[in-house]
Structure 1
């Protein structure tokens, strides 16, 4: 996927709307910090930037992971969805 921005304001809006930090990703996915760390370690979720104490993610990557996780939860934990 390619992104093009004509102005700095467009870039800022994209970052504000489409880039999430670790805390936001944890909340969005409904998982623990330890689970997020494990997903990153196992390369099942790749941050767009990894900092010493935080990581940044594209919202579209998190949306894909959330759909995958929900599908697996329904399969392996069917009683949670009744």
Structure 2
């Protein structure tokens, strides 16, 4: 991944579209807090930045993981529990 950010506007646009908070990431992956914790512990989901009350993730990496999880769910015949 390579990004060319020039100026504050470009940086703001990048953060608003390409960086996800924990809640957005959970929603996109359709996983619980517990499952997200497991994904982080296993190294399959790695935050780009860890803050005291928030983790930030790169959208592109989350979308790749979403595809992987969908394949696993399809293979195992399981889905997210709500």
On whether the aligned pair clears a TM of 0.5, the verdict is: yes
Return the alpha-carbon distance in structure 1 between the equivalents of residues 51 and 2 of structure 2.
23
In the TM superposition, what is the alpha-carbon distance from 1:51 to its structure 2 partner? Answer: 1.6
- 2:34 corresponds in structure 1 to 34
Partner of 2:67: 67
Q: Distance in 1 between matches of 2:38 and 2:53?
A: 15
Q: CA deviation at 1:71?
A: 0.6
Task: Return the structure number with greater relative CO, CA threshold 8 A, min gap 6.
Answer: 2
For residues 11 and 53 of structure 2, the distance between their equivalents in structure 1, rounded to whole angstroms, comes to 24
The gaps in structure 1 that reach 5 residues or longer are: none
Tell me the CA shift for residue 7 of structure 1. Answer: 1.4
In the alignment of these two chains, the number of paired residues is 79
Q: Deviations over 1:25-81 (max 9, x none)?
A: 011110001111111111111110012221000100110000000011110117x6x
After superposition, the CA RMSD in angstroms is 1.3
Where does structure 1 differ by over 4 angstroms across 4 or more consecutive aligned residues? none
